[in-house]
Structure 1
Amino acid sequence: MRGMKTYPPNRIRELRMARNLSQEDLAGLLETSSGQIHKLERSKSTLSLEWMLRIAEVLHCDPRDLIPPGERTAEAARDLLLGKVGQLQRLVKDGHFKAASAYAGDLAKELAATHKRFAD
Structure 2
Amino acid sequence: MHQLAKALGERIRTQRKAKGFSQDALALSCSVDRSYMGRIERGEVNITVEKLYRIATVLECEPQFLLPEALSLHELASDLAASD
Is the TM value for this pair above 0.5?
Answer: yes
Q: Which residue is 2:38 aligned to? A: 38
Residues 63 and 7 of structure 1: is their aligned pair in 2 closer, same or farther, counting only changes over 3 Å?
Answer: same
Q: How far apart are residue 7 of structure 1 and its match?
A: 5.0
Report 1:60-79 matches (<5 A): 60-71=60-71
Q: How far apart are residue 33 of structure 1 and its match?
A: 1.0
Q: Which residue is 1:6 aligned to? A: 2
Q: Distance in 2 between matches of 1:72 and 1:45?
A: 21
Q: Which residue is 1:99 aligned to? A: none
Q: Which residue is 2:58 aligned to? A: 58
Q: How far apart are residue 47 of structure 1 and its match?
A: 2.5
Q: Which residue is 2:81 aligned to? A: none
Q: Distance in 2 between matches of 1:13 and 1:62?
A: 15
Q: How far apart are residue 17 of structure 1 and its match?
A: 0.3
Unaligned stretches of 5+ residues in structure 1: 74-120
Which one has the largest radius of gyration? Answer: 1
How does the TM-score come out when normalised to structure 1?
0.52
What residue identity is the alignment partner of 2:43? S
RMSD: 2.1
Identity of aligned residues (%): 30
